[in-house]
Homo-oligomer: A and B are copies of this chain.
Amino acid sequence: MQPLRKRFGIEADEEAKTYTTSIGFDWRLWPYDIQGSIAHAKMLGKQGIISEKEAELIVTGLTAIRDEIEHGTFELKAELEDIHMNIEARLTEKIGPIGQKLHTARSRNDQVATDMRLFLKDVIEETIGRLKHYQRALLDLAQANKEVIIPGYTHLQPAQPVLLAQHLLAYFEMAQRDIRRFQDCLERADELPLGSGALAGVPYNIDREFLAKELGFSRIAPNPMDAVSDRDFIIEYQAAASITMMHLSRLAEEIVLWSSAEFSFVEVDDAFATSSSIMPQKKNPDVAELARGKTGRVYGHLLGLLTAMKGLPLAYNRDMQEDKEGLFDTVDTLLPTLDVFAGLVRTLRVNAQRARAAAEGGYILATDLADYLVKKGIPFRQAHGIVARLVAYAIEQGKSFKELELKEYQEFSPHFEEDVRSITVEASVQARNPQVERALERARRLVEGEGG
């Protein structure tokens, strides 16, 4: 737990240096910084820009620093401002002046861009993994409740009965698109900036193919000015994350609604609810509410970076340092949200009876009645008119469709016959969407087939 800081957390030290220092957040790039530097040192050695021996020494030094960090014995120094200088300074401390050769044929600008891309590539894989985890939870819940019928809503008014499974599969589809978007983003992030120097390339015989291979990039950035000043890949992640959060906010809204006393279609598991200290029966769907609220925060980070990048001349400007904190917070918001949603969904208890009763209510089968008439040859708009009058009559009589007698039906159209009785909630669901089983299987294949 963090120690309590002084009021407002604003340091007395108001110097510009504190203002520009980034070590407070960029420390988390350390694995990527070391990985990038090791590849760079190897390349310098291989190309004879430094000697093979020097390269080896540097690699050994960096490997030792990685160990120190992993074992918690590495001490970050704020006065060195960023993670990159912290690591380079420690390297020279450990291996002497040879350490000063590491930065040959490289600049902070291409180094940071490389670190960020390595970071993001890892994050995207992690994101996709968790989306699949969440998809599986949706499928499991759908499978376990595959007969459950609920009202399907438009305008939050019951419109037609649907299967809960179909409803959950809608969220599966959204997550599937999310995965595709993150894959597209990965495709664009997968380009090596190293070798671009400060902005204009470097005057050394470097081997960028080697660097790309070492670091797992599938392409090399063709233009150095673009390579050091491009932050599209981060914005794109933020945009994809915003859409994902929007999807989750919709499910969150439904979970809040469905677990209200008035709906009572589901019960949130104790692990994902808080209860009031006084009303043990009252379960607050806090996790869903909080996720809904956090949607705003992720949108905010997207807009923050878009705004920061607006109107910046080439190439690097310090404004671009602002790419990091928003991204980190988006990642730290999205990944846990996906995890808690997987748990929340998987443990949801469905009150099938209550949902089914709601799906029976009102005149939810009116559309089916109209379709019945259409199939007997009545034009669609006319059929609708007939049923509208029938519904008005039924309301007046205080009767449900079931309670109406056939001759009452027939007063509105002679095309109503005995088989009008076969229009039930089950029949409606069956007629409209006959293949939920297959849809579930297809979804299962999708989520498993892609190596999740």
Contact = CB atoms under 8 A, between A and B. Distances in A.
B295 A308 contact: yes
A140 to B, nearest CB: 17
A157 B282 contact: yes
A327 to B, nearest CB: 11
Given A4-B74, A155-B256, A368 B203 contact: yes
A1 B26 CA distance: 12
B198 A188 contact: no
Nearest to A317: B289
Contacts of A76: 1-2, 4
A292 B311 contact: yes
A37 interface: no
B155 A317 contact: yes
B10 A24 contact: no
Contacts of A280: 388, 391-392
Given A159-B198, A290-B19, A325 B308 contact: no
Contact of A363 (B188, B235, B279): B279
Interface string A1-12: 111110111110
B19 A279 contact: no
Contact of A391 (B30, B279, B387): B279
A41 interface: no
Contact of A256 (B19, B77, B156, B366): B156
Interface residues of A, number: 189
A418 interface: no
Contacts of A172: 223
Given A158-B261, A381-B100, A382-B97, A170 B428 contact: no
Nearest to A265: B262
Contact of A28 (B7, B296, B384, B387): B7
B281 A152 contact: no
Counting chain B CB atoms within 10 Å of each CB, the highest count among A293, A328, A336, A368 belongs to A293
Contacts of A340: 14-16, 19
A277 B154 CA distance: 14
8 contacts: A7-B28, A16-B272, A160-B200, A177-B232, A200-B429, A246-B310, A279-B391, A295-B308
B242 A306 contact: yes
A433 B14 contact: no
Given A280-B392, A380-B101, A174 B232 contact: yes
Given A157-B260, A296-B304, 10 more contacts: A20-B287, A100-B381, A153-B199, A155-B317, A159-B199, A236-B239, A246-B306, A254-B313, A295-B308, A296-B305
B16 A314 contact: no
A203 B311 contact: no
Copies in the complex: 4
B28 A8 contact: yes
Interface of A is mostly: helix
Nearest to A24: B2
Contacts of A370: 278
Nearest to A315: B154
A120 B123 CA distance: 31
Nearest to A361: B261
Given A100-B382, A384-B278, A285 B326 contact: no
Contact of A18 (B102, B260, B336, B388): B336
B314 A153 contact: yes
A387 B339 CA distance: 34
Contacts of A171: 226
Nearest to A155: B284
A252 interface: yes
B319 A289 contact: yes
A301 B325 CA distance: 13
Nearest to A394: B281
A289 B428 CA distance: 28
Nearest to A309: B246
Contact of A199 (B104, B160, B272, B326): B160
